């Protein structure tokens, strides 16, 4: 892809030509900020302290000293275990606010000089705006006494004073000679800094560009076909029926030019029944037109490997979606909401586009998360948590009405299930990131677990569907009740702040509601019980039913049961490799706050793994035991544990660039495979992916005139909705 290569070359050139910069130690005059603003800073500081204590060793949920004085901007944050977090690494802390105010005053003093203003912002990254935590010490010990240091600084070990510059530190006077040599940054460090600041923005832009690359050419070609301009179009991208129509049109045109007199008679008979013994001479038949072969058309071996050979795709023609939803909330409450919502959608909106719009809501949430709360701790602004809940709710709504829109427009197909569940797979880690941030879990073990645990139930449900050919949703299931619970958590975090989850449950709801069992909960908070609840829900309420349904299906078909458990191999590799990598004491990814980058990478890896299973289910192909995208994950687990096998530990920069390279690899492999599969299915079935064909659209517009509101749709489902 030349365009990507060119972009990478330009970016690399720009990074190497960045000039040398220097760190600055600063403070502000408290009187330069109005008292109301300072009081707000202190309130955020007091709320952040107990959350940050949970990020340290021991994950203390109490504080020995937590104070902040708005008058002189002095503060104290000492955890119950005697440790003091380095507050300069996080947002929504007093050092962070001091740093941002210093930057604002710096910009104001530039008198309109754009270069000066740009330098003020670039040279003073505050808190988690630079997600790599490069402070000299990330944990310091302190006594329970009030600190009264210059604003934006906390005292550390060995006389180190941390300022609000996201990692810079002043050193004692005896080390002044060493500090002189460290005041200048090398060009490589500046380049890394730019990567830290803008890397995720580039990646998210690449995600949107990938979707555009996959689908834009198909849309343009469909438009060209509708206008009859096949000479400048790309016949490879056209749907099969479009190619046939184009070929027939070309043959008729050439026929008329060669046989002008006989063409009129032939054209007449082509639309009317011919006489029984009437035949046309061979030399008058229009010559056949061959369709150019696509440069992306897979070979027979590749098509068979990717389940897109004609022998596999033939099963899509007999496809019929099957699901069982026992949720009471879905059947008695949300069903009416979904039925009303789908009526608001226009008939020209394709069901797969509905699914994609819901996924864009989640991507928007994650982008806001990266901008306003990259440390996943916060607390962030209240509107951010509310936006998380709204985005997740809209994703859930779109995910539930896309099938209704397909039946409403008569465009149901196997591609719809593949696209729907493929997006669900991509969403598993991304939506959970917002939930992690809403509870202020950060990159703690609980935060890592919360972000990645949804992959397990998604995999087992997909595995179950592969064998039973039916999607089962229980009385309490993740897509309905689970998402409602997540939205509720986000709304409560927006109203009360994420620190509410660190309070004792008995204090929040009162002892009398526990009917005498309040002592059982003791001092437990919601955060203390969060991981056990998730584990019990997965292994006690979800996995056993998946196994039972698969065993029943195998016995019904007189097939052996035990071999199906070997199909857990890819998920076992996925899970254990993540655990070995992230929980390794030699890995720096989580201490350096790269959970968002890691989850984004795992989104594509897990998406490819489960979507291959869905495709194998639709095409009745063997279970896919492996995907090439798992190989770098195993390599990362080995890289993070090299000292265990007697090799030297890699630096944090090497590990970070390995993860970034893994993300680029996953991005390219996923979208190339997605394009191959979607293009093959659309061409075989003669359908569009993100648009509704003009003939189908015109037919849908005629339905209200026919007045048949109870007509059956193409997939056999009743449709008692209005279609106007």
Q: Which residues are catalytic?
A: 421
**How many whole angstroms separate alpha carbon 583 and alpha carbon 444?**
10
Do residues 406 and 398 make contact, with C-beta atoms less than 8 angstroms apart?
Answer: no
The structure tokens listed for 487 are 């939205």
**How many whole angstroms separate alpha carbon 724 and alpha carbon 717?**
18
**Of 261, 264, 260, 224, residue with least CA distance to 245:** 224
DSSP-assigned letter for residue 625: -
Under DSSP, is residue 75 helix (H, G, I), strand (E, B) or coil? strand
**How many whole angstroms separate alpha carbon 631 and alpha carbon 601?**
13
**Of 224, 222, 219, 235, residue with least CA distance to 292:** 235
Q: Which residues have C-beta within 8 Å of that of residue 133, sequence separation ≥ 6?
A: 86, 89, 167, 591, 592, 593
Q: Kind and range of the H or E element at 364?
A: helix 351-372
Chain position carrying tokens 């265990």 = 644
Q: Are strands 161-162 and 74-79 parallel, antiparallel or unpaired?
A: unpaired
The structure tokens listed for 626 are 């492996």
Q: What share of the chain is helix, strand, coil (3-state, %, to 5)?
A: 65, 5, 30
Q: Omega into 379 within 30° of 0, i.e. cis?
A: yes
Q: Which residues have C-beta within 8 Å of that of residue 362, sequence separation ≥ 6?
A: 391, 392, 395, 427, 430, 431, 434
**How many whole angstroms separate alpha carbon 680 and alpha carbon 414?**
12
**How many whole angstroms separate alpha carbon 525 and alpha carbon 523?**
7
**How many whole angstroms separate alpha carbon 55 and alpha carbon 61?**
10
Q: Which residues of 578-594 are buried (b: 16+ CB within 10 A; e: fewer)?
A: bebbbebeebbbbebbb
Phi, psi of 287 (to 5 degrees): -65, 145
Do residues 392 and 486 make contact, with C-beta atoms less than 8 angstroms apart?
Answer: yes
**Of 719, 183, 68, residue with least CA distance to 410:** 719
Q: Which residues have C-beta within 8 Å of that of residue 580, sequence separation ≥ 6?
A: 637, 640, 641
**Of 247, 402, 397, 388, residue with least CA distance to 336:** 397
**Of 76, 78, 73, residue with least CA distance to 102:** 73
The residues facing 325 across adjacent strands are: 473
Q: Are strands 323-325 and 63-69 parallel, antiparallel or unpaired?
A: unpaired
Residue-level length of the chain? 724
Q: Which residues of 417-441 are buried (b: 16+ CB within 10 A; e: fewer)?
A: bbbbbbbbbbbbbbbbbbbbbbbbb
């Amino acid at each position: 892809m030349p365009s990507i290569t060119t972009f990478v070359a330009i970016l690399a050139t720009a990074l190497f030509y960045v000039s040398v910069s220097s760190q600055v130690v600063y403070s502000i005059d408290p009187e330069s900020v109005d008292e109301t603003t300072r009081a707000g800073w202190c309130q955020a500081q007091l709320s952040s302290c107990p959350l940050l204590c949970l990020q340290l060793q021991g994950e203390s949920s109490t504080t020995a000293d937590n104070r902040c004085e708005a008058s002189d901007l002095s503060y104290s944050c000492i955890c119950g275990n005697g440790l003091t977090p380095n507050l300069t690494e996080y947002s929504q802390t007093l050092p962070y606010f001091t740093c941002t105010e210093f930057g604002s005053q710096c910009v104001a003093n530039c008198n309109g000089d754009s270069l000066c203003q740009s330098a003020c912002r670039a040279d003073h990254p505050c808190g988690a705006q630079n997600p790599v935590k490069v402070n000299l010490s990330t944990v310091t010990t302190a006594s329970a006494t009030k600190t009264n240091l210059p604003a934006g600084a906390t005292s550390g070990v060995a006389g180190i004073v941390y300022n609000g510059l996201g990692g810079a530190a002043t050193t004692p006077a005896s080390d002044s000679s060493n500090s002189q040599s460290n005041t200048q940054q090398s060009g490589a460090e500046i380049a890394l800094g730019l990567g830290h600041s803008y890397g995720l923005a580039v990646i998210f832009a690449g995600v949107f560009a990938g979707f555009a690359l996959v689908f834009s050419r198909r849309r343009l070609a469909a438009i060209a076909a509708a206008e009859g301009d096949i000479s400048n179009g790309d016949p490879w991208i056209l749907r099969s029926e479009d190619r046939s129509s184009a070929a027939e049109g070309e043959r008729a045109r050439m026929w008329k030019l060669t046989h002008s007199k006989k063409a009129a008679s032939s054209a007449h008979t082509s639309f009317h029944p011919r006489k029984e013994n009437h035949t046309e001479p061979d030399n008058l038949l229009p010559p056949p037109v061959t369709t150019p072969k696509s440069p992306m058309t897979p070979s027979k071996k590749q098509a068979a490997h990717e389940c897109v050979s004609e022998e596999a795709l033939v099963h899509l023609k007999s496809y019929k979606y099957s699901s069982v939803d026992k949720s009471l909330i879905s059947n008695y409450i949300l069903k009416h909401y979904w039925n009303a919502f789908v009526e608001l959608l226009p008939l020209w909106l394709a069901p797969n586009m509905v699914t994609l719009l819901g996924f864009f809501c989640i991507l928007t949430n994650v982008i806001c998360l990266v901008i306003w709360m990259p440390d996943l701790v916060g607390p962030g602004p209240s509107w951010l948590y509310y936006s998380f809940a709204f985005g997740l709710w809209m994703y859930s709504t779109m995910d539930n009405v896309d099938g209704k829109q397909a039946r409403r427009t008569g465009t149901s197909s196997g591609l719809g299930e593949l696209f729907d569940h493929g997006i669900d797979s991509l969403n598993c880690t991304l939506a959970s990131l917002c939930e992690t941030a809403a509870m202020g879990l950060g990159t703690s073990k609980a935060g890592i677990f919360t972000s990645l645990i949804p992959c397990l139930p998604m995999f087992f449900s997909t595995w179950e569907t592969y064998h039973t050919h039916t999607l089962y949703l229980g009385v309490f299931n993740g897509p309905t009740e689970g998402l409602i619970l997540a939205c509720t958590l986000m709304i409560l975090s927006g109203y009360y702040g994420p620190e509410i989850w660190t309070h004792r449950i008995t204090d929040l709801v009162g002892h009398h509601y526990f009917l005498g069992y309040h002592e059982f909960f003791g001092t437990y908070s919601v955060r203390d019980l969060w991981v056990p609840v998730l584990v019990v829900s997965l292994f006690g309420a979800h996995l056993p039913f998946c196994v039972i349904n698969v065993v029943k299906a195998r016995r019904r078909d007189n097939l052996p049961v035990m071999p199906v458990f070997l199909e857990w191999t890819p998920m076992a590799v996925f899970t254990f490799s993540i655990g070995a990598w992230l929980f390794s004491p030699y890995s720096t990814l989580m201490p350096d706050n790269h959970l968002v980058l890691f989850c984004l990478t795992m989104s594509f890896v897990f998406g490819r793994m489960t979507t291959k299973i869905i495709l194998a289910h639709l095409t009745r192909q063997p279970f896919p035991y492996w995907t090439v995208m798992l190989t770098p994950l195993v390599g990362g687990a080995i890289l993070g544990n090299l000292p265990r096998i007697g090799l030297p530990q890699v630096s944090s920069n090497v590990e970070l660039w390995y993860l970034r390279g893994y993300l680029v690899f996953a991005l390219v492999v996923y979208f190339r495979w997605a394009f191959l599969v979607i293009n093959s299915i659309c061409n075989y079935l003669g359908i569009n992916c993100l648009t509704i064909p003009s003939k189908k659209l015109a037919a849908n517009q005629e339905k209200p005139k026919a007045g048949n509101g109870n007509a059956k749709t193409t997939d056999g489902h009743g449709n008692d909705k209005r279609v106007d």
